[in-house]
Amino acid sequence: MGSMKGLTYLKSLMLIFISITTMAQSSWNWPEDPQLEKMAKEKQAYYKVAMGLDNYNDSFTALQWLYENNANLNPSIYIDGVKVIGKIIKSGVSEDRKNQLQDSLLWMFDQRAKHFGNEAKVMDRKAYEAFKLYYKDRSKYPLLSELYDNAYAQNGTEISDYNLTPYMMLAKQYYEVKPKEMTAENVLEVHERVSNAIDAKMKAGHKIEKMKKEQDKVDAFLSALDGILTCEFISERLAPKLEENPEDIGTAKKIFRYSLQAKCTDQPYFTKAGETVLAQDPSYKLAKALADKYQAASEYRKAVELYGEAKELADTNEEKHDASLGIASAYNKLGNKPKSRASAYETIAIDPNSSSAYNLLGNLYFTSFEECKKGESRVLDRGVYLVANDMYTKAGNNAQAEAAKAQFPSSEEIFNEEYEVGQEIKVECWINKSTIIRRRD
C-alpha cells in the first residue's frame, strides 16, 4: 500500500471509528470548547486505529496530545498508553529513549489515579509494571521497594495475585546487593506481608492450590538467604515480645511461621506461639502441626485433643483422614487400644483404602495376645494373630502379615480342639471381631 493510499486508509478508518464511538463515549469528559472537542475526538480515534494497525509511535503521539489537552478524558487513555509504550520499548529504541518511555509509563499510573481515583488498585498495577521494567536493574531497587511498600500499604491483603511473589523476590535480590538498605528485618517484614495476603486469600476460598504454590515460592526465596531466618533470631528478637504480651497474635504468627521455616519446632516458643494463634485464629494446618509436635514429645493426651480440633477444622477428606489417624495413633501410645481401634475405623470410614489405618489395627491386634489370652484354648487365644493378619493383608504389609501367620494355631492344635480350618470364630476381649481359622503349617 503506497504512502498516500495508506494515509487515506488510516483517515477512513479514523472517521469510521469516530462515528461508531461518539455515541458510546457520550459520557466521557470531552472538552467544552467545540473545536477542542472535535480535535480530541479525532486524536482519540486516531490513536485507537493506529494502535490496531501496530503503528505505536503515531498512536503515542496522538495520546500525548490528549494528555496535554484532555487529561481527564477517560481512564482508557492511560491504560492504552501503558500498552503502547510497552510495544514501543519492545520494538527496540535507544537507551535514552527507553529511559524516557519507562518514566512516561509510570507517570501514566499517577495521572490515572489523579484524574480518576481508585488509587490503591492503580498503584497495585504500577508496582507490577515497574517490577517488569526494572527487576534486573539494581539501581532501581529502592524505587521498586518504595512502590511495593506503597501498594501493600494501600491494598493490604487485597493486593493482586500477580504482586505476591515479585515483592518477595525483590526483597531477596535487594538484600543480596545492599543489606544495609534492605535489612534482614525488612526482608522478614516483606515475607510476613506477602504471607498474610496469601493466608487471607486462602481463607476466602480464593484459588487455594495456586495460593499454596505462591506460599511455597515465597518461603523458598526466604530460605535461600543464609543467616536471615535462624532460631537465634526468633529467640532473641521475637520470643521476648510474646513473653511480654502472650495475646499478641501478630508476633505469635511470625514466630510460628518462622519456626517452621528455620526448623526450630523443638523450641518452647514454637508451641506457645502456636497455641496463641490457634486460640484466636484456628485452622486445620495449625492444629495438626501442634498435634504432631505434642505427639513427638510423647504428650499424647494433648495430641489427642489437638488432633480432634484439627479434625473439626478440616476442609477435605484427606485432612480429616490424617487427623483421625493421628487420634488413633495417640490413643495407641496411651495404651487405650479400644479407643485407638475406634478412631482407626473412623479413619477407614473416611478413606476405605487407608493402608495406614489398617496397619495400625494390625499392630493393635498383634500386640494383644498377653492381655487377651484366657489360657483355655490355644486356637481361640491365637485368634488375635488371625485378625492381625487380616488387617495387615488389607494394608498391603506382607512382611507383617507373614509375621502374624507364623503365630497362627498349628494343624495339631486345631485338630485336638475339634476346630476346622475355614471355620468362623469370634475373637473376644476388647477386639470383638470375627475371623476365619487358618493354620500356620
Convert the pLDDT of each residue in 362-378 to its tens digit.
999 999 999 999 999 99
Q: Is the pLDDT of residue 88 over 50?
A: yes
Long-range contact pairs involving 158-161 (C-beta distance under 8 Å, separation at least 24): 158/120, 158/197, 159/124, 159/197, 160/124, 160/125, 160/128, 161/201, 161/207, 161/210, 161/214
Indicate the pairing of strand 433-436 with strand 424-427.
antiparallel
Per-residue pLDDT tens for 192-241? 899 999 989 998 999 999 999 999 999 999 989 988 888 998 998 889 99
**With bands split at pLDDT 50, 70 and 90, how would you rate the model's confidence at 261?**
confident
Q: What is the mean pLDDT of residues 63-72?
A: 97
pLDDT at 362: 98
pLDDT at 7: 46
pLDDT at 441: 87
pLDDT at 223: 87
Q: Is the pLDDT of residue 337 over 60?
A: yes
**With bands split at pLDDT 50, 70 and 90, how would you rate the model's confidence at 47?**
very high
Q: Is the pLDDT of residue 118 over 60?
A: yes
Rounded Cα gap, residues 218 and 12, in angstroms: 52
3-12, 251-260, 279-288 — which is least confidently predicted?
Answer: 3-12
pLDDT at 9: 46
Q: What is the mean pLDDT of residues 395-399?
A: 97
pLDDT at 1: 42
Give the list of residues 6+ apart from residue 140 with CB closer than 8 angstroms, or none.
Answer: 130, 133, 134
pLDDT at 257: 85
Rounded Cα gap, residues 284 and 205, in angstroms: 14
Q: What is the mean pLDDT of residues 18-31?
A: 62
CA-based torsion, 370, 371, 376, 379: positive or negative: negative
Q: What is the mean pLDDT of residues 265-286?
A: 92
Q: In the structure grid, which three cell numbers stand for residue 334, read together?
A: 496411651
Cα dihedral 353→354→359→365 (10° resolution)? -80
CA 253 to chain centre: 16
pLDDT at 169: 97
Single pTM value for the model: 0.65
pLDDT at 25: 52
Per-residue pLDDT tens for 289-322? 999 999 999 999 999 999 999 999 999 999 999 9
pLDDT at 21: 47
**With bands split at pLDDT 50, 70 and 90, how would you rate the model's confidence at 5?**
very low
